[in-house]
Structure 1
Amino acid sequence: MEKKLANELVDFIYASPTQYHAASTVKEMLDREGFTELFEKDSWNLKSGEKYYLKKNDSAVIAFEVGTGSVIEDGFRLIGAHTDAPGFRIKPNAEMKVEDQYVRLNTEVYGGPILSTWFDRPLGVAGRVALRGESPLKPEIKLVNINKPVLIIPNIAIHMNRSVNEGYAFNKQKDTLPLVGFVNEELEKKGYLMSLLVEELGVNSEDILDFDLFLYEYNKGCVMGINEELISTGRLDDQWMVFAGIKALLGSEKIKATKVMVCIDNEEIGSLTAQGANSNLLRRFLERVVIALGGNTEDFFRALANSVMISADLAHAVHPNLPEKHDPTNRPKLGMGPVIKIAASGSYSTDSVASAIFMEVCNKAEVPVQKFVNRSDVKGGTTIGPMSAADLGIPVVDMGAPLLGMHSVRELASVKDNFYTVKAFTEFYNIK
């Protein structure tokens, strides 16, 4: 069962090369389970025990099951994760000729990828394309996945960069541009990238108005290791937690509280977008749910007072080659269960109350739980947790499954931790 679940995760991530595809994959899972799609422009009429979801900007999804009790008295049971991952975004007017022989694409870095891991790997292109629609105010949107090895970022030979293994500062405008291929007169007239999009989408080039396109590693992830105990794939941060949360929502029982799975976008670049955690999207959504169930703003605040949230991202496992990078007494390991993340700076939202809640959830699920705190002389990252806690004013525990190689093009996780996390999330949704 654990290996089957791990392969499901690998398949989910491979079907989701961008945040847009992750949202689409989640939508397909929800549709199969009888969830009803809601739209912001419509008036909502929600019913007790029924299942719904809302998409935002093609890249964020909020799925929920209305509780059998009172949303005011029983509140919301929330899990939040993000659909985006660090990488490279293609710029407009992207094609660049070099030496009258090579064609490269001009890109910009999205988030904080480990740049060196992207070199010498076959890369695909995916994202969304805006096409001319019936009205200038309503372009037609199509997702695209050029699932072919069409690009590569080649390294320069070590003979010309002798110090590369002693540490090299990559220039994001020069060193990391992907190679398309050789100069071709016919393609040059049509545009290399445009030709790929036209062929993939079956549309006219003049109907393509703009795009949001990203590079991704073409090769699929895998379950690996001597005993097949490891998962090697990109975008575990944070599509793994999206997958685990959706699996838990679909596999959980009906309860009095309203269960919510929040798949948000743009965490890797600060969340300050209409579909990010540093917006009013979640707050506005939850208030609309209360109103659609017959409540008012006062009832919404009362519902929040009875709510709790898990901010689900990834946590740093102790690295076998560099164990000294970790805190002396809090040392999460692969295969030993989900990790509660704590920071005196407030960069994680966990306090003792939120921590105790998640620990009891794990105890009830018979899942081991670990804790992570940064070394005091090392600055850590942050998540959607503090933003959510500050905006909603509810207990939010920051946690994540342990990981090696965070932000690499290939991250490494444990099959057992995938099973543990889904089990813990399911228990969180099941508690009466």
Structure 2
Amino acid sequence: MSDPSSPDSHPDGSLDPDGVAAGLAHYVTQSPTSFHAAAAARDRLVAAGFTALEDVGAWPAGPGSYVVVRDGAVIAWRVPQGAGPDTPFRVLGAHTDSPGFRLKPNPVVRAHGWEQLNVEVYGGPVLPSWFDRDLALAGRVVLADGTTRLVRTGPLARIPHLAIHLDRGVNEGFAPDRQRHLLPVVGVAGGPDPDDARHWLRAELGDAVAADLFLADTQAPARLGADGSLLASARMDNLTSVHAGLHGLLAAPQDTPHMPVLAAFDHEEVGSGTPTGAAGPFLEEVIARTQEGFGATRSQAASALRASWLLSSDAGHLVHPGHPDRHDPTNRPRPGGGPLLKVNANQRYMTDARGEALFAAACARAGVPHQPYVNPNTVPGGSTIGPLAATRLGIPTVDVGVGLLSMHSARELVHVEDLAALHGAVAAFLAG
């Protein structure tokens, strides 16, 4: 099942780095929040012939291509002809959320002639990168009848820096107070309407009775570099992997001996311990309901999982040219060197020798390079959805991802050849 509207490929099916970058830029622009990212992924899959299922109610049994959205998470899978109770799965795991700021209840703050919004830090953003940027509000609202809709504004807010004239030491050390210094300005207080911001919010949200709203950067993705080889954008951690998973699932052959799956979870940046996070039941439920459609016994279901693979794809770190000491001395990922194969002795990443061989074979089939990534012993680094999903399901797992500069900044940087290489490797993995 191909996606003729996809800009990722040439007419002959070969990957086009410029097209991949353009496709990712379009997807990021569609996806200011995890809710938008899940909905945009579903819409692209449905346009390519997938059947959208409701999270409750009966699901079809047997061959077909399906997608289901749960809040800010989306899982899509294909059941090929000939699949049965012991057919294994090939899962591309990723996440839809990024660090940032969430709007608090009773959000309007007035101080010294200004109106601001009271926000809470979500995850681990690079805080200075959010200052003096044109920000929107985006997210999900719930109506009185229980239905939901997605909303987004244009440029609305700004977190202002203090002028250097009033803080001569700002360039020697910047440590903002998370309650006093991170509240974005949205207007001025004391005008003809003393309730401007509250009235604006009520008008913007319509008849909503509740909302999950986040700040979102409004600057469009852009190609950079003397040769145009770099892409700067918000939310590439981890929409790079979700986008690659969409491409790979749509490109997968109809007759695979396994069931290809895209599982894009929410809440990875805050620990994944939610119903839509990787530590929750979403993927397990999708797999179980699919196996039940074939009448799988417990033994057959367990056997299928042990024969399955999970490719946990999340962004990683390229060597920073100004801070090479923060990287391992012998494993030094470079831009344009291909996706990262992540290894960690303490199981923050799940890659072992079998997983390394599997990913190397996928990259070889795709004709793309890859490069190892390990943390230096002095920097513990982060983790991914890999260990959580593997622990819950028992599926053998390998951790990979595209390399970035400025991870968790409001705006991150990637090499477009690495984007294309990740797309190729993921497609080869899902095709088997």
Pairwise TM-score range, normalised by the shorter structure = over 0.9
Q: Find the counterpart in structure 2 of residue 198 from structure 1.
A: 203
Distance 2:18 2:114 in 1: 43
Shift of 1:197: 5.3
Would you say 1:56 and 2:61 are equivalent positions?
no
Contact 1:72 1:302 in 2 (8 A): no
Q: Which residue of 2 aligns with 1:82?
A: 95
* Deviation for aligned residue 1:103: 0.3
Question: Which amino acid counterpart does residue 79 of structure 2 have in structure 1?
Answer: V
Rounded to whole Å, the distance in 2 between the matches of 1:247 and 1:140 is 30
Partners of 1:417 and 1:373 in 2: how far apart?
18
User: Are the aligned partners of 1:6 and 1:418 in contact in 2 as well (CA < 8 Å)?
Assistant: yes
Whether contact under 8 Å (1:81, 1:238) holds in the other structure is yes
Q: How does 1:180-199 map to 2 (within 5 A)?
A: 180-183=186-189, 185=191, 187-189=193-195, 192-193=197-198, 195-196=200-201, 198-199=203-204
Residue range with higher mean Cα deviation, 407-416 or 281-290 = 281-290
For 2:55, what is the secondary structure of its paired residue? coil
Does the 8 Å contact 1:122/1:151 carry over to 2? Answer: yes
- 2:107 partner letter: A
What are the superposed Cα offsets for residues 138-164 of structure 1, whole Å, 9 maximum, x if unpaired?
x12111011x11100010011222221
CA separation in 2, counterparts of 1:402 and 1:71? 37
Does the Cα contact within 8 Å between 1:76 and 1:260 map onto a contact in 2? yes
CA contact (8 A) 1:79 1:310 kept: yes
Q: Distance in 1 between matches of 2:131 and 2:385?
A: 30
The alpha carbon displacement at 1:184 in A equals 5.2
Aligned-partner residue type, residue 21 of structure 2:
A
TM-score (normalizing by structure 1): 0.93
Work out the CA distance in 2 between the residues paired with 1:310 and 1:168: 38
User: Please, which of 42, 63, 68 is the counterpart of residue 81 of structure 2?
Assistant: 68
Matching residue's letter, 2:156: V
State the 1:209 CA deviation: 1.4
- What is the CA-CA distance between 1:305 and the residue it aligns to? 1.6
1:41 aligns with 2:22: no
Distance 1:197 1:232 in 2: 34
Q: Who is 1:314 aligned against?
A: 315
Q: 1:118 aligns with which of 130, 143, 147?
A: 130
The corresponding residue for 1:243 is 243
Closer, same or farther: CA 187–125 of 1 in aligned 2, 3 Å: farther
Alpha-carbon deviation of 1:235?
0.2
Cα distance in 2, alignment partners of residues 192 and 46 from structure 1: 50
SS, match of residue 6 in structure 1: helix
Residues 193 and 140 of structure 1: is their aligned pair in 2 closer, same or farther, counting only changes over 3 Å? farther
Task: Name the structure 2 match of 1:323.
Answer: 324
**1:263 matched to 2:297:** no
Structure 2, unpaired ranges of 5+? 1-15
Q: 1:342·1:350 contact (CA, 8 Å) conserved in 2?
A: yes
8 A Cα contact 2:131 2:159, kept in partner: yes
Kept after mapping to 2: 8 A contact 1:68/1:257: no
Superposition CA RMSD, Å: 1.4
Contact 2:104/2:119 (8 A) holds in 1: yes
Q: Secondary structure of the residue that 1:166 maps to in structure 2?
A: coil
Contact 1:63–1:260 (8 Å) recurs in 2: yes
Contact 1:151 1:179 in 2 (8 A): yes
The CA distance in 2 between the partners of 1:312 and 1:335, in whole Å, is 17
| Matches of 2:96 and 2:194, distance apart in 1 | 34
Q: In the alignment, does 2:155 pair up with 1:152?
A: no
Structure 2 residue matching 1:429: 3-state secondary structure? helix
1:165 aligns with 2:180: no
- Work out whether 1:98 is the aligned partner of 2:111: yes
Cα distance per residue 1:349-386 (max 9 Å; x no partner): 11111121111111121110101110001111000000
Cα separation, 2, equivalents of 1:405 and 1:379: 17
Q: Which residue of 2 aligns with 1:130?
A: 142
**Aligned with 1:13: secondary structure?**
helix
The answer to whether the 8 A contact 2:86-2:296 is kept is no
* Correspondence 1:382 to 2:397: no
| Other-structure match for 2:234 | 234
Q: Please say if residues 7 and 222 of structure 1, whose CA atoms lie closer than 8 Å, have aligned partners that are also in contact.
A: no
CA spacing shift, 1:300–1:154, aligned 2, 3 Å: same
**Structure 1 residues 293 and 37, CA gap change in structure 2 (3 angstroms):** farther
Question: 77, 94, 119: which one pairs with 1:107?
Answer: 119
3-state SS in 2 of match to 1:277: coil
Percent of pairs with identical residues: 39
SS in 2 for 1:408: coil
Residues 184, 132 of structure 1: CA spacing in aligned structure 2 closer, same or farther, 3 A cutoff?
farther
Question: Which residues in structure 2 correspond to 1:274-289 (within 5 Å)?
Answer: 274-289=275-290
Hey, what's the Cα distance between the residues in 2 that align with 1:326 and 1:232? 22
